[in-house]
Amino acid sequence: EPEVTQTPSHQVTQMGQEVILRCVPISNHLYFYWYRQILGQKVEFLVSFYNNEISEKSEIFDDQFSVERPDGSNFTLKIRSTKLEDSAMYFCASQTGGEAGELFFGEGSRLTVL
């Protein structure tokens, strides 16, 4: 069964460092997302990506964040200068089409900022 894969599963970094989280969405999917879940809290939308550009982003997704699909298979989330409050589980998700089809989530990348 096709699945969304994310790497790394856990990353520990120092405050101020850059972090790149990687995702390989399901191959025939067209919409890609990043969501964040701070420990014990709800899952929050960060950004959606379609046709090689951002289609929607939340207030959380400020200038420190960027996304890229560099090679047609990987979908990356970059945090330029991490802050303590960026510590969270980051979920990548993909979706076949735009009409609220099921989101297929990866297993998450846990980011710990010290």
Which stretches of the chain bind another protein, using CB under 8 A? 31, 33, 35, 41-45, 48, 55-56, 58, 89, 91, 95, 98-108, 110
Compare residues 71 and 99 and give the one whose CB is closer to another protein.
99
In the bound state with another protein, the residue whose beta carbon lies nearer, of 66 and 107, is 107
Distance between CA 1 and CA 85 in Å, rounded? 35
> DSSP alpha helices (H): ranges in 1-114?
none
Residue type, 59: E
Nearest approach in angstroms of CB 94 to another protein is: 12
28: region left, alpha or beta (phi > 0 left; psi from -120 to 50 alpha):
alpha
Q: Which residue number, 10 or 81, has a Cβ lying nearer to another protein?
A: 10
